[in-house]
Structure 1
C-alpha cells in the first residue's frame, strides 16, 4: 500500500519521557537576527545530515536549537515562522516538520470512554459477545488453537504479548537478522501494534472475563501468533523478503504447534502490474489455495484513489478498508475513513473494520514511538499504549475475527470465511458506497450465520510470471554508502529471479527447502525447526547506538547493506500515528 510518508507529523519527545537520549545543544550565535525574529517562534523538528550545517542554518534564521534526537537523526528547534521555507532548503537539512506537544489531559485513561480503544472496538464489532459462545468441544470462542502469521516488522514481547506460547518466532528475514540483539524484535513498532489488535491479552485477564475494561484484550485473545519479521527499524523491506515470508508460512503452516490458518499482511506496494502476473499477488493466492485466510489492507491513499494496493488487487484474498466511528458508540453514523483507498467497481475493499486512531500496544523507543510521541496515550500512567490510524489496523481487526470463526468451525475454507464475513457485514448508510465493500465487520453475526456452500468463484488464476521489479512499485531499498537502489529481477541476496521456477514451488508450498529460498541460503539467525522460542523481554528501551545502520552486518547477504529509501519507502507506515 502507499500509506503516506512516515514523517508527516514527527514530533519530539519531552525530556520527561526519558526515552530519547541526547545532549542539549545551543545554536551558534546569529550575526544579525532578521526583522521577523521578534515574532512568536515556531517549534520544529529538523532532520539533518550529521555535519552540523543544519544547526548553523537554524542559527542564521534567528532560531535556536533544542534537544538532539540522535535516534532519528534530528533535533528540535524554534525558528521564526517566516523562516520555514528557507530552512527547508538549507544545506545539511533533510526535512523540517512542525513540532507538536504532548499534554496530560487527565490522571487516568478509561478504555470504555475512548471509542478507539480495544475495549470499545471489540464491543463494537461483536467480539465480546462471541467470547461468551463456545465451539463444538465446549471451549469459549477466543481464538484458541488458531495460529495467525504476522508478516510485519516483528513482535516485541511487551506486556499483553508476553505470555508463554503467545508468540512463536519464525525466521527473521529482515536486514536486522544478523544482529542477535535485534533478531525477531520490533524496532519499528508497527508489527507489535498489529499483534496486539489481533491477539493481545494481559496475563491478569481471568478466563471468561475477557471483556474487562481495565485490561488489554485483542480481538482473538487466545490465538497464537507466528512472528515473521521482514521490516527493519526504519521500515525498510524489499518485496522479495515479503514473498519469502509468505512462502515460509505456507511451507510450515502445519508444523507441530503452529496450525497457521490466517495470514495478516498489513502491507502492500503501488505496483501497476496486472494482479495475475504480479509475484506478490501470486504468493498470497497460493497461500489462499493452501487453506490460509489471507487478510490484506487496501492502502491509505484516500477515497479518491481508484486503485487499491498490491496484493489487495487479487480478488481471492480478503481486502480490508478502514472505518471511522466518528468518536461515537453508535455504528449507524460510521463512515469509511477518509484515508482508506476507495478502489473502483472492479476491485475495492471486501469489507471495512475500525481503523481510525486505534489504541494498541507500544514498543518503547521503537522508531514510530520516538518519532511520534504524541501518539502515546498520555493519560495512561503505565504508558503502554499507542494510537494509530490506517487500513493496517483494520486488517488486523479482521484477522482476529477470522481466527474466532476458524476456532468455531475449523473446517471452513478461506472462501467460506470470506463469505461469512462479507455476507454478515453491516451496511454503512453514511459511508462511501464503493469503498465500504459489503459494509462493516460484524463478527457476532458471522458466528451465528450458517456455513455457506463451497465457493463457486470463477476468477482467472494468477500465474506469477510477471516482474519482481514492477512488483516493488516505487518503493526500493538502497545501499546507504552509495545510494544505489536494489532494482531489477533480483532478490535481496542478489539472486536472479526466475518466475516460472519460483511459481511452481510456490504453488505446491515447497518454495523453502530447509534454509534455502530461491536458490540461496538465508542465514544470520538462530531459528531451527525443532526449537522455536520467544525472546525474553526486560523492559529495556532501544537506543540509537544499538540498532542504527552502523551496527548492521547485512553485508554478508549479498555484498552490500540495504536500508530504507530516504524514508519514502512508505511500505509499513500507517496513515498517521496520532
Structure 2
C-alpha cells in the first residue's frame, strides 16, 4: 500500500532581490540553468526577452542561458513555473556559505586580535548584531573595527552594551555593515593588553539582517609531519611540517626523545635557531624557551637535531613535540606519518580495504571502464600501462575546450591523483624492498574515460559538469562505461530532485552506470553532505583514516573533515566510508597542487592528499573489481553488496563508535563485497523513473528532536547523535573486524538489527529506501513546517527554488 501526500509549494525564486531601474541592455548578464518547461518553450521565451540560450542539454529538460534580472522577471511573468538555478562554480573542495574556521591572528606587540570571515555564498549580507567576549585579563576593549569601520559607544545608530569582558553591538539604519557575496569581513579588536593567545578564550559572532549567524569556529585542519630525513655525514636528522593556520604560532617549549646510543644532542634547531644552551644527553629532554620562536602563518616548520654520532636511523626511536604559547602542541613523530619511500612503494590503502586479496585472485578491474569527471589527466607509465605492461584503454574529452576536446592536460593535479588511486598499475613493494602480489591502485587493469570539466584552480560551473555527465551517458555503450567517479561536492541549494546535477546523476544511475559521489569535506558537523552526494540513489562516500598504521585497525578513525548526514530530505548519508587520509597518488610537480603544496610531496611524483575525493576513488576502484567478478551486477546490486558487507565501527560494549550519519554502513571491504550474493537491499521502494518524471519524490527516515536537537531514526535505539564530532581515537582496542559489523551477523540487540535484510521494524527501515508510514514520517504533519523540519528556519538560497509546482511525496508502507 502506498501513502501519497501532495504538497503544493510556492516557488521561492527571487533573483537579485527586486527589479533594477536599469534597462536590460544596461544590466549585466549572468549565467543560469533554466527548467520548468519544454526546451522549445524555454528557448522561445528566453530569446523573446533578449536573453541568450548557450546550451540545450540532452539528458535533462534544461537549458543554460545568459539573462539579466529584468529579463528573468519578464520571462517569469509569462511563465511563473520556470526555475532559475545560478550556474555557480563547483570546486573540487567546495566550501560555500560562510568560511568561519580561520583562526584568530594575534598582534601581541600591538595588543590586537584579528579575525576574518568570508561570505562564500551568492547572497549579499548586512551585519545587524555583533557579539564579542574576551578574557577579562585583557582589560578594556579600547578599539573595534569591523570591515574597516570604527565602532564605539556614542556612534549614531550604534547601540553598545559593554561589560568588562564582553560587548554586544546593535547596528541600525545606514550603520548596518554590508558584506557582499564573495567578500571578506575583518574584525579587529584592540585591548589594554593581550593576556591569552588561545582561540577558545575569545568568542566572535555576527548576526546578519536575514537571521544568518556567523561565528568563529576552530580550524579542523591538521598537517602531519613528513618522514625523517637523514644526513649521515653530518650526524643529523630533520623533519618538515607546516603551520597551516594563517596566524603566527609561538614555540614556548620543546620535548624530544632520541636513541641514547647517539650520544649527545649537540644542537636542536627550530627553523635554523638552536634552542640548546649546551649539549644534552640521556635519550630524553625538555627545554622551556626563554624567548618564544615565532612560526609564520602558513610557513614550514623545520626541526633538525645534530648528535655526537648517528648510531640509529630507526624512525621509531625519534620524537619531538613543540608546545606553543596557546597551549596547543605539534608532534614530529614518524610513527604518525607515511614512511619515506621511492618509486617502488606500498600505498597501503588497497590492503586497508582488502583489495590486495582481490589482486592475488587475479581480480584487477580488467574489462571495466571507469569514467572520471575532474581536472584532467597527466600520463605516467603506471597509468598508461596495465599490470601486464599492455597499453591501457584511455579515452579523453574536454568540455572546456571543444576545439581541442581530446586534450585534457591536468594543470591542477587533482584529477591525475584520483586516476592514480583507482588505476595505478605499479606493483606493491614492502618497506624492506620485497615485491608483493598486489598493486598500488585499487583496480589497476581498469579502463579509463577522463572528462575534464574543472580548470587549473579546481573550479567548474554547473553547466560544465552537466555537459560532462551528458557525455558519459551518451557514450556509455560506445566506451563501455560502467562506473562514474564524482570526486567533488557543492552546497545544496534546492531539494535533491530539483538540482540539475542530481537530475543528470540520476539519469546516469537509471542508465545502468554505478555513480560514486564524495560526501564532501565540510565536516564534522551534521547536514553537510553536498551535491551530488545528497542524491539518495547513488553511493556517497565519506573518509576515514588508518592513523598511519595500516596493519593495526585499533586506532582508525573517521576524519573530522568528512561531511556528515542526514541530508535535508532526511536520508542517512554517507552510505559507506573508505580511506581518505594521507592517500598516496601520482601528481605532476608543475601542477597547481604540486607548486603550491610542496609539503605533501612524497618523492617520485607521488603526493599525499586527504579528502573524501580520495575515498570516493577507492570505492570506485572496488566497484570495478566487483564488476569484473560479476558483470551482471546492476548499480542497485552493487550498492546493496557494498553496504551489506561494510564493517561498521563499534565499541567493545557493542555501541556505535561513530554515528550512522558519519560512517554510514561502515568501512568498505572489497573482497567481502566481491564474494557477497545479496540483492534487493538498496533503493527499494523508490522509483527513479517516477522521481525523474516529477511524479514522485522521496524523503528519508531521519528526524531531529526539538528539545535537544539530536538526530535519530525512529525505531532505532542507541543511535541518537547530537551532530558533534567524537574526536577520541575511535576504536582504541576496538577493531573493524569482520564479525563485528552490523551488516554481517552482529546486531546491537534483538530489537534493533541494522541493515541488509535485518530491519529495525516493519515500518521504520533505515536508509529511506523503505520510507515511513503516516505515524513515523519525517515531518510529522506531512509538510515542511517550521516546527518539525530538520533545518529549523533555514531556507535554500534565493536563486534556486525548492519546487515550482505540485509535488507528490511518497512514504512506502511495508505490508
Could you state the TM-score of these two structures normalised by the residue count of structure 1? 0.58
Work out the CA distance in 2 between the residues paired with 1:102 and 1:218.
32
User: Is 1:98 aligned to residue 298 of structure 2?
Assistant: yes
Give the counterpart of 2:398 among 161, 172, 182: 172
Give the counterpart of 1:416 among 637, 657, 663: 637
Work out the CA distance in 2 between the residues paired with 1:355 and 1:362.
16
* Corresponding residue for residue 325 of structure 1: 546
Give the superposition deviation at 1:118: 5.6
Work out the CA distance in 2 between the residues paired with 1:456 and 1:342.
20
Give the superposition deviation at 1:250: 1.0
Give the counterpart of 1:284 among 502, 505, 509: 505
Q: SS where residue 548 of structure 2 aligns?
A: coil
Give the counterpart of 2:412 among 153, 166, 188: 188
User: Is 1:129 aligned to residue 357 of structure 2?
Assistant: yes
Give the superposition deviation at 1:214: 11
Work out the CA distance in 2 between the residues paired with 1:364 and 1:104.
25
Work out the CA distance in 2 between the residues paired with 1:111 and 1:444.
27
Give the superposition deviation at 1:306: 1.1
Q: SS where residue 396 of structure 1 aligns?
A: helix
Work out the CA distance in 1 between the residues paired with 2:437 and 2:299.
32
Q: Which has the higher helix share?
A: 1
Give the counterpart of 1:153 among 375, 379, 386: 375
Give the superposition deviation at 1:188: 0.4
Instruction: Give the ranges of 4+ consecutive aligned residues of structure 1 lying more than 6 Å apart after TM superposition.
Output: 5-9, 34-37, 102-113
Relative to 1, partners in 2 of residues 1:343 and 1:172: Cα closer, same or farther, differing over 3 Å?
Answer: same
* Corresponding residue for residue 625 of structure 2: 404
Deviations 1:518-562 (A, max 9, x none): xxxxxxxxxxxxxxxxxxxxxxxxxxxxxxxxxxxxxxxxxxxxx
Give the superposition deviation at 1:243: 1.1
* Corresponding residue for residue 536 of structure 2: 315
Work out the CA distance in 2 between the residues paired with 1:115 and 1:425.
31
Work out the CA distance in 1 between the residues paired with 2:492 and 2:542.
18
Give the superposition deviation at 1:254: 1.3
CA RMSD of aligned residues (A): 4.1
User: Is 1:463 aligned to residue 692 of structure 2?
Assistant: yes
Work out the CA distance in 1 between the residues paired with 2:347 and 2:248.
41
Q: For 1:67-466, list aligned pairs within 5 A.
A: 98-100=298-300, 114=339, 119-133=347-361, 140-163=362-385, 165-166=391-392, 168-174=394-400, 183-202=407-426, 212=435, 217-255=440-478, 258-328=479-549, 329-344=551-566, 346-377=571-602, 380=603, 383-429=604-650, 430-453=657-680, 457-459=684-686, 461=688, 462-463=691-692
Gaps of 5+ in 1: 10-33, 38-78, 83-95, 134-139, 466-486, 490-498, 501-578
Q: SS where residue 398 of structure 2 aligns?
A: coil
Is the 8 Å Cα contact of residues 114 and 120 (structure 1) preserved in structure 2?
Answer: no
Deviations 1:135-183 (A, max 9, x none): xxxxx210000000000001110232122643523321125x6579x92
Is the 8 Å Cα contact of residues 336 and 547 (structure 2) preserved in structure 1?
Answer: no
Q: SS where residue 621 of structure 2 aligns?
A: helix
Work out the CA distance in 2 between the residues paired with 1:5 and 1:375.
21
Q: SS where residue 352 of structure 1 aligns?
A: strand
Relative to 1, partners in 2 of residues 1:190 and 1:196: Cα closer, same or farther, differing over 3 Å?
Answer: same
Relative to 1, partners in 2 of residues 1:276 and 1:80: Cα closer, same or farther, differing over 3 Å?
Answer: closer
Is the 8 Å Cα contact of residues 346 and 428 (structure 2) preserved in structure 1?
Answer: no
Q: SS where residue 607 of structure 2 aligns?
A: strand
* Corresponding residue for residue 77 of structure 2: none
- The structure with more radius of gyration: 2
Relative to 1, partners in 2 of residues 1:400 and 1:112: Cα closer, same or farther, differing over 3 Å?
Answer: farther
Deviations 1:83-103 (A, max 9, x none): xxxxxxxxxxxxx96222578
* Corresponding residue for residue 770 of structure 2: none
Give the superposition deviation at 1:115: 11
Is the 8 Å Cα contact of residues 188 and 234 (structure 1) preserved in structure 2?
Answer: yes
Q: SS where residue 351 of structure 2 aligns?
A: helix
Deviations 1:202-249 (A, max 9, x none): 3x789xxxx946996200010011011111111121111111111111
Work out the CA distance in 2 between the residues paired with 1:35 and 1:436.
42
Work out the CA distance in 2 between the residues paired with 1:122 and 1:178.
39
Q: After superposing the two structures, state which structure 1 stretch, 151-160 or 339-348, moved more.
A: 339-348
Work out the CA distance in 1 between the residues paired with 2:511 and 2:366.
21
Relative to 1, partners in 2 of residues 1:262 and 1:114: Cα closer, same or farther, differing over 3 Å?
Answer: farther
Give the superposition deviation at 1:110: 12
Relative to 1, partners in 2 of residues 1:438 and 1:214: Cα closer, same or farther, differing over 3 Å?
Answer: closer
Relative to 1, partners in 2 of residues 1:308 and 1:397: Cα closer, same or farther, differing over 3 Å?
Answer: same
Is the 8 Å Cα contact of residues 118 and 360 (structure 1) preserved in structure 2?
Answer: no
Q: SS where residue 423 of structure 1 aligns?
A: helix
Relative to 1, partners in 2 of residues 1:236 and 1:132: Cα closer, same or farther, differing over 3 Å?
Answer: same
Relative to 1, partners in 2 of residues 1:298 and 1:354: Cα closer, same or farther, differing over 3 Å?
Answer: same
* Corresponding residue for residue 749 of structure 2: none
Is the 8 Å Cα contact of residues 279 and 464 (structure 1) preserved in structure 2?
Answer: no
Q: Which has the higher strand share?
A: 2
Q: SS where residue 494 of structure 2 aligns?
A: coil
Work out the CA distance in 1 between the residues paired with 2:453 and 2:532.
16
Relative to 1, partners in 2 of residues 1:464 and 1:374: Cα closer, same or farther, differing over 3 Å?
Answer: farther
Give the superposition deviation at 1:111: 14
Deviations 1:301-325 (A, max 9, x none): 1121313101111111000000111
Is the 8 Å Cα contact of residues 359 and 439 (structure 2) preserved in structure 1?
Answer: no
Is the 8 Å Cα contact of residues 174 and 237 (structure 1) preserved in structure 2?
Answer: no
Work out the CA distance in 2 between the residues paired with 1:189 and 1:280.
23
* Corresponding residue for residue 59 of structure 1: none
Q: For 1:23-38, list aligned pairs within 5 A.
A: none
Relative to 1, partners in 2 of residues 1:342 and 1:110: Cα closer, same or farther, differing over 3 Å?
Answer: closer
